[in-house]
Amino acid sequence: MNNYKLIIQYDGTDYSGWQTQINAKTIQQTITYSIETITKEKVNLIGSGRTDTGVHAIGQTANFRLETELDLYKFKYSLNSILPYDISVLTMEKVDIDFHARFDAKKRTYLYFISKYKSPFFRKYSYHYHGELNLSELNNISKNFLGNKDFTSFSKKNTEIDNKFCEVYDAKWYGKDDLVIFEISANRFLHGMVRTITGTILKVSETQDGEEFINKIFEERNREAALMAVPAHGLFLHSVEY
């Protein structure tokens, strides 16, 4: 048995997220079908995380196991040639049979892009926020999300997951040309967590509610306590570290 690791980029605009679903087009399903078309073998494609509907990826990691020994260069070329234009396999390598893209991941990093003005070129990949953005203030607010905390209030309800604790390593805002970027890294993320954290930080910066207000949101452990979630189209899974 052989185990293959992929680094994948995709535009999530026309997909119902990563995870395979009935009667919905997803990234996982599309890549799996393409691999099986070439290899004529059934495969289980494992992603590092389940990006939501409309979310993009710059560096999603995935792996699959196969009986066949592949020519990596030829297979990657063939795979990219039949994948749709909005999905691309950047790299492919053979890894240890025990490697698991999801369970072995130590750190995941997301980027959220905000455009400073209305632009037809940014509209699919950034959120046009109408308020003033003070980077120093946004960074101060973001410090409240660092550490190992219960993020129940910042995630969509999911009865399948009992443990809502995540350790956030870094959360920072910076400018890049005509964009403002929020970068957040953690050991794991819950469903809708990054978008809700981003929206909450923006709203707190508007209302000046501060640290006490954010602590109260954490304590309530209720999604309704948190503020707005920003749109999905500005969010990118940037990288996964092992």
Contact 184, 226 (CB under 8 A): no
Q: What is the mean pLDDT of residues 152-156?
A: 88
- Annotated active-site residue in 52, 71, 104, 162: 52
pLDDT (0 to 100) of residue 159: 52
Using one digit for the tens of pLDDT, what is the confidence trace for 62-102? 999 999 999 999 999 999 999 999 999 999 999 999 999 99
Q: Which domains does the chain have, with CATH numbers?
A: 2-95 (3.30.70.580), 107-241 (3.30.70.660)
Using one digit for the tens of pLDDT, what is the confidence trace for 6-37? 999 999 999 999 998 888 999 999 999 999 99
Contact 51, 233 (CB under 8 A): no
pLDDT (0 to 100) of residue 131: 81
Strands (E) across 120-216 are located at: 127-128, 147-150, 165-176, 179-186
Active site residue 52: yes
